[in-house]
């Protein structure tokens, strides 16, 4: 309390005494004992009321001991089982949890990583990938302001994400890698990387790039070959030495028939090899007889155009041509979709030819759009010309039903620039994205599709879509999310195929180390998406004829099933609606066998040692894990910290004081009542 507060309390005591004496001691006929009782009660009541008005504040300080954290990151991928280390890892984790001295000194927390980083529920060692970089980055965020030496239990072989050695360079705490496996170098030949397109065009040749790596000390020569079924379509002799241990082969293969084509690349093993699984790899592609041609017409240079082109061409089935309005007229008939970027009066003949050919269009508008022209040249929408612009954010319409869309957090994307005012679409339309201004949804379309008499059109009323694609890369380290969204818009607009009440979306082939999903949309007879239907999929293995049925689960405006549990092989399926027996869709896909976690023979000791050195930690083999535990217990740099917490409590928050005032006044009232003074 301050000196001023103490002075106020003294004054309150004096006032309380004076008032109590005046009321019960001055010219009263009460007995002496009665005066003291009444006077004391009145003094207490007045003083406590004045004390509440003064409201002094009291400081309290508490002390507690804070343990340093000890996060334990456990590799839960299949490579642990491939190295026969499941028992060693499980025993070590159990010993950490059971060690009383360690738990008394540290606050232990356990996490697993594979495809994703998560709190440890159980160890399964069945993850298809291992992302060490993500595990270290997220741990660094969780404990960046705390003392938290980190145990990294892994073989060091990462199959997903950024280089974890780079990620560890900014780690705030010491990392202690617990190395699973051994450092023995076995003679090994393997295919480390195989790159090819997902699609190829009929009667063309498609490129293949293969990276071969050799671990060994003697000179060897072997043969690399590619088979299609039992037929060898490419072969080449390759030689390796201890110093020249890498070969990069580039060649082309013919696309001679339409449809799904599967190949096997193999480098012939030598007798001393221990792991021959990594000598071969399957790959596949789909051969198509034509591509989807998209024409972008623009009279201005803008980064949006480059972003649109790259996004559309991220699917090899699509080709983009960019032309000015004066050059595009003769090309319209050769393209399935025309993208008109910020049209002006020079687009007059373009619009006339589009109407004649009934071409599908996607119109982008922005600051350089001539809205006087655009309002007059078409009858689908109008917008008042104000010559003022505003920033808008996109909000996904969860009820959009023309095709399935995933929400990629559009509302968190950077604002786009658009002409101030409401875009009024005067024909039937479907909103994909609505405009949001300063957090308020305006219900004005940002991206909408229009389908009239079999012709499909769309308008995107915003400039700066290149920012969205860039932000997609910043957040997910690739353009896949944005390109998938935009690709679905392009796929819908580039086709005049009549919609079915049951639409099924799937890939012709998957790799078994990736997620395998099949999605579907079901519409009622008015083509309104039905979110209350029961959809199921019957999967049959073409070789074993074994069948399994799974339900499709509702996800916003589509249904989806995850089939990642299926093994490699060829499958046929039938999606059906339980309430409509005749409404079904059939399809087929192939799951290619590739387990990236089987490609390693031993631990990456060198990289894990560098990670430990860079963070001032130390690496241990799991066989020496007891030494690590002893070292952590004895290390004086990790000490418990005494934490003090100061609380300031105002007297007005003390409920007992109010109770005391009520009690004092009540006793005085009852005594006066009892003695007939009231």
Enumerate helices (H) and strands (E) in the chain, giving the number of each.
16, 36
CATH of 502-596, one of 3.40.50.300, 2.60.40.2700, 3.40.50.620, 2.60.40.10: 2.60.40.10
pLDDT tens for 175-184 read 999 999 766 6
CATH class of 68-184+602-639: alpha beta
Contact 620, 627 (CB under 8 A): yes
Cα–Cα nearest to 298, from 363, 342, 355: 342
The pLDDT, as a whole number, for residue 225 is 95
* Cα 614 to Cα 77: distance, rounded to the nearest angstrom: 25
Angle at 12 between CA 9 and CA 15, to 5 degrees: 155
- What is the per-residue pLDDT for 574? 93
Evaluate whether 369 touches 342 at the Cβ level (below 8 Å).
Answer: yes
Per-residue pLDDT band at 27 (split at 50, 70, 90): low
CB 128 within 8 A of CB 597: yes
- pLDDT of 197 above 80: yes
Enumerate the β-bridge partners of residue 194. Answer: 210
Contact 108, 119 (CB under 8 A): no
Q: Are 325 and 297 in contact (CB under 8 A)?
A: yes
Give 239 or 646, the one with higher predicted confidence: 239
Beta-sheet pairing, 337-341 with 292-297? parallel
What end-to-end distance do the CA atoms of the chain give, in Å? 40
Cβ contact 115:78 at 8 Å = no
| Ranges 25-34, 370-379, 411-420: which has the least confidence | 25-34
Does CATH number 2.60.40.10 belong to domain 188-288?
Answer: yes
Please write the tens of the pLDDT for every residue from 410-448.
Answer: 888 899 999 998 899 999 999 999 998 887 888 899 999
Q: What average pLDDT is seen over the chain?
A: 87
For CA atoms 166, 170, 171, 176, the dihedral sign is positive
Position 304 confidence tier, pLDDT thresholds 50, 70, 90 = very high
DSSP-assigned letters across all residues of 622-678? GGGHHHHHHHHHH-TTS--EEEEEEEEEEGGG-HHHHHHHHHHHHHHHHHHHHTT--
CA distance 104 to 96: 12
Mean pLDDT of 62-77: 87
- What is the pLDDT at residue 183? 66
Q: What percent of the chain has pLDDT over 70?
A: 96
The pLDDT value recorded for residue 410 is: 85
Question: Are 65 and 642 within 8 A, CB to CB?
Answer: yes
pLDDT beyond 80 at 2: no
Residue 406 has pLDDT above 70, yes or no: yes
Question: What per-residue confidence (pLDDT) applies to 284?
Answer: 87
Q: Is the dihedral of CA 101, 104, 105, 108 positive or negative?
A: positive
- Look at residue 28 and tell me whether its pLDDT is greater than 70: no
pLDDT at 54 over 70: yes
CATH 3.40.50.410 spans which residues of the chain?
68-184+602-639
State the DSSP H helix or E strand holding residue 382, giving kind and residue range, or none if neither.
Answer: strand 381-383
339-368 tens-digit pLDDT: 999 999 999 999 999 999 999 999 999 999
What pLDDT, in 10s, does the model give residues 544-572?
Answer: 999 999 999 998 778 999 998 898 889 99
β-sheet bridge partners, residue 372 = none
pLDDT band at 536 (very low <50, low <70, confident <90, very high): very high
Contact (CB, 8 A) for 118 and 138 = no
Q: Answer whether residue 60 shows pLDDT above 90.
A: no
**Adjacent-strand bridge partners of 390:** 418
Alpha-carbon span 393 to 414, nearest angstrom? 7
DSSP characters over 97-163: HH-HHHHHH-EEEEEEESSSEEE-S-----BS---HHHHHHHHHHHTTTS---EEEEE-S---SSS-
More confident residue, 156 or 649: 156
Considering only CA atoms, which of 435, 356, 456, 344 is closest in space to residue 391? Answer: 435
Query: How much is the pLDDT for 611?
Result: 93
CATH architecture of 292-493: 3-Layer(aba) Sandwich (3.40)
Write down the pLDDT at residue 242.
86
Domain with CATH 2.60.40.10 in the chain: 188-288, 502-596
**Residues present in the chain in total:** 678
Residue 29: the pLDDT is: 66
Do 293 and 334 form a contact (C-beta atoms < 8 A)? yes
Asked whether the predicted pLDDT for residue 490 surpasses 90, the reply is yes
More reliable by pLDDT, 59 or 202: 202
Q: What is the pLDDT of residue 110?
A: 95
- Please give the Cα distance from 246 to 105 (Å, whole number): 48
Question: Residue 74: which H helix or E strand, with range?
Answer: strand 69-75
Residues 504-526, mean pLDDT to the nearest whole number: 84
134, 161 in Cβ contact below 8 A?
Answer: yes
Query: 109-133: per-residue pLDDT in tens?
Result: 999 998 889 998 788 888 888 899 9
- pTM for this model (two decimals): 0.63
240 pairs with which residues across the strands? 220
Phi and psi for 620 in degrees, rounded to 5? -135, 145
pLDDT in tens, 582-611: 789 999 998 887 766 666 767 888 899 999
Residues 6+ apart with CB under 8 A from 262: 228, 282, 283, 284, 509, 590, 592
Residue 467's pLDDT band, with cuts at 50, 70 and 90, is very high
């Amino acid at each position: 309390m301050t000196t001023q507060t103490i002075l106020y309390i003294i004054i309150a005591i004096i006032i309380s005494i004076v008032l109590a004496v005046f009321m019960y001691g001055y010219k009263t006929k009460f007995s002496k004992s009665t005066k003291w009782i009444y006077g004391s009660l009145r003094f207490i009541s007045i003083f406590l009321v004045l004390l509440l008005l003064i409201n002094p504040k009291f400081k309290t300080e508490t002390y507690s001991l804070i343990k340093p954290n000890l996060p334990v990151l456990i590799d839960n991928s299949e490579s642990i089982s491939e190295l026969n280390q499941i028992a060693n890892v499980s025993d070590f984790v159990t010993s950490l949890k059971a060690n009383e001295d360690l738990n008394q000194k540290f606050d232990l927390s356990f996490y697993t990583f594979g495809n994703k980083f998560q709190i440890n529920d159980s160890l399964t060692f069945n993850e298809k990938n291992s992302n060490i970089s993500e595990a270290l980055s997220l741990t660094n965020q969780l404990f960046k302001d705390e003392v938290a030496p980190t145990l990294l239990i892994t073989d060091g072989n990462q199959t997903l994400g950024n280089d974890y050695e780079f990620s560890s360079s900014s780690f705030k705490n010491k990392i202690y890698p617990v190395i699973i496996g051994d450092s023995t170098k076995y003679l090994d030949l393997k295919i480390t990387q195989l790159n090819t397109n997902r699609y190829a065009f009929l009667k063309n040749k498609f490129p293949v790039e293969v990276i071969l790596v050799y671990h060994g000390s003697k000179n060897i020569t072997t043969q690399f070959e590619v088979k299609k079924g039992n037929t060898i379509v490419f072969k080449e002799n390759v030689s390796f030495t201890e110093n020249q241990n890498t070969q990069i082969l580039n060649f082309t293969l013919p696309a001679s028939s339409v449809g799904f084509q599967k190949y096997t690349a193999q480098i012939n093993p030598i007798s001393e090899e221990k792991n021959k699984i990594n000598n071969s790899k399957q790959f596949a592609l789909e051969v198509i007889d034509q591509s989807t041609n998209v024409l972008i017409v623009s009279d201005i240079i803008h980064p949006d155009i480059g972003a649109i082109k790259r996004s559309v061409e991220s699917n090899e089935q699509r080709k983009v041509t960019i032309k000015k309005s004066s050059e595009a007229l003769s090309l319209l008939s050769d393209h399935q979709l025309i993208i008109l970027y910020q049209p002006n009066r020079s687009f007059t003949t373009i619009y006339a030819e589009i109407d004649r050919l009934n071409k599908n269009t996607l119109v982008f508008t922005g600051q350089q759009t001539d809205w006087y022209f655009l309002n007059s040249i078409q009858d689908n929408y109008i917008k008042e010309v104000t010559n003022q612009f505003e920033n808008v954010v996109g909000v996904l319409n969860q009820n959009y039903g023309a095709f399935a869309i995933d929400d990629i957090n559009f509302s968190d994307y950077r604002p786009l620039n658009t002409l101030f005012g409401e875009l009024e679409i005067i024909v039937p339309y479907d909103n994909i994205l609505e405009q949001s201004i300063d957090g308020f949804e305006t219900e004005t379309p940002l991206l909408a599709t229009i389908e009239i008499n079999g012709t499909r059109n769309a308008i995107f009323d915003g400039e700066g879509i290149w920012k969205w694609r860039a932000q997609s890369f910043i957040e997910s380290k690739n353009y896949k999310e944005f390109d998938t969204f935009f690709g679905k818009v392009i796929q819908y607009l580039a086709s005049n195929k009549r919609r079915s009440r049951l639409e099924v979306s799937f890939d012709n082939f998957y790799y078994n180390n990736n997620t395998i999903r099949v999605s579907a949309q079901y519409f009622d007879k008015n083509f309104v998406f039905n979110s209350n239907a029961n959809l199921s999929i019957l999967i049959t293995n073409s070789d074993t004829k074994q069948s399994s049925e799974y339900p499709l689960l509702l996800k916003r405006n589509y249904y989806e099933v995850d089939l990642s549990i299926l093994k490699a092989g060829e499958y046929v399926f039938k999606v059906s609606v339980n309430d409509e027996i005749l409404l079904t869709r059939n399809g087929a896909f192939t799951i290619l066998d590739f387990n990236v976690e089987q490609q390693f023979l031993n631990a990456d000791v060198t990289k894990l040692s560098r990670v430990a050195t860079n963070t001032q930690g130390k690496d241990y083999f799991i066989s020496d894990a007891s030494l690590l535990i002893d070292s952590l217990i004895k290390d004086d740099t990790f000490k418990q910290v005494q934490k003090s917490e100061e609380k300031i409590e105002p007297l007005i928050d003390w409920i007992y004081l109010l109770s005391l005032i009520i009690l004092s006044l009540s006793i005085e009232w009852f005594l006066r009542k009892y003695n007939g003074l009231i």
